Amino acid sequence: MQTQNRLSLHTILLAFSVSLTISGTPTWADTIAGIDGDIEISPLVHSSVQLEYEGFVIQVDPWAPIDISHAKTADLILVTDSPGHHLDIDAIEALSKQDTSIVIAENGLSKVPHGIVAKNGEALKVSGVTVEAIAAYDIIIGAPTHPKGDANGYVLTLGGKRFFFAGVTECVEEVKALRGIDVAFMPMNIPLGRMTPKAAADCTKILDPSVVYTYHFDQDWVRRLANPDFGGSDLPGGLSVAETLTAFENELSDTTIEFRRGDWYPD
């Protein structure tokens, strides 16, 4: 009977685990220690991230090309740019409460007229959280363009830790000037050879966070949502997307920075 009970418990736990993952969406969270407990970090999809600390929830660039029913409604939403995979009105509405604050770049005001505009270089106190808008733009010029002053990265302080969400940017002077970053989210594999694994890693070394995630690194996954037959892009060095993650990690091998590979792209 005791053996049967153990088997039954194992079966129940296995079934529960399957029920959590069957939708194909990430359900796990990393943590980093905050002042009064752990801060949960949940990569959702592409550049969409959920943070939670003591019941306070922040959503960054919420996007819903997949089922996001597992994501939590937010007290604060940060939007870095105006394209739909950053500024998704439906996802914002689904993850908003009556008193949710939404911070946007100025280019998103037509889509979110009630949003709180943060201009490059501006620091705001929103819902009790300090949010700094950091310039996000191109050095290598060409389409798709990310002009200076158009979009934001964000530094926010939560639980005594400073999080940097770079948005879509190269390693511009405003990014290099940042100090005291604990967790960084860095874009990689941006078209035209912007933010190659080495460039993204070199920028990360300048910031010197305790933890880094790469995000917004599989542009072809996004393209295939609109065109499932899209054949794929050529990345610098002929690398696959998976190989770029390893290359990024190898570039950090001489540092103490912890690279965490978020599960950003479900099959």
Residues 25-53: b if buried by 16+ CB within 10 A, e if exposed: bbeeeeebebeeeebbbbbbbbbbbbbbb
In the beta sheet, which residues pair with residue 195?
Answer: none
β-pair type (30-34, 116-117): unpaired
99-107 mean pLDDT: 97
Residue with tokens 């990689």: 188
Q: pTM for this structure? A: 0.89
Q: What is the mean pLDDT of the chain?
A: 90
Q: Which of 60, 108, 116, 96 is nearest to 264 (CA)?
A: 60
Query: How far out from the chain centre does Cα 132 lie?
Result: 16
pLDDT at 14: 32
192-202 mean pLDDT: 97
For the chain, give every domain's residue range.
30-259
Q: Is the pLDDT of residue 21 over 90?
A: no
Taking the C-alpha atoms of residue 216 and residue 81, their distance in angstroms, rounded to an integer, is: 13
In the beta sheet, which residues pair with residue 152?
Answer: 135
Q: What is the SS3 assignment for 192? A: coil
Query: How far out from the chain centre does Cα 234 lie?
Result: 23
pLDDT > 90: what percent of the chain? 87
Residue with tokens 């620091």: 123
- The CATH classification number of 30-259 equals 3.60.15.10
pLDDT at 28: 63
Q: E strands of the chain, at which residues?
A: 30-34, 37-45, 48-53, 56-60, 74-78, 96-104, 116-117, 123-126, 129-136, 151-158, 161-165, 183-187, 211-215, 258-259
Taking the C-alpha atoms of residue 187 and residue 170, their distance in angstroms, rounded to an integer, is: 8
Q: Is the pLDDT of residue 154 over 60?
A: yes
Lowest mean pLDDT segment, chosen from 22-26, 62-66, 82-86, 121-125: 22-26
Taking the C-alpha atoms of residue 68 and residue 224, their distance in angstroms, rounded to an integer, is: 19
Fill in the amino acid letter for 18: V
The CA radius of gyration of the chain, in Å to the nearest whole number, is 19
Q: Could you report the per-residue pLDDT of 204-214, keeping only the tens digit for each?
A: 999 999 999 99
pLDDT at 29: 86
45-58 mean pLDDT: 98
Indicate the pLDDT class of residue 141, thresholds 50, 70 and 90. very high
Dihedral pair phi/psi, residue 229, rounded to 5°: -90, 5
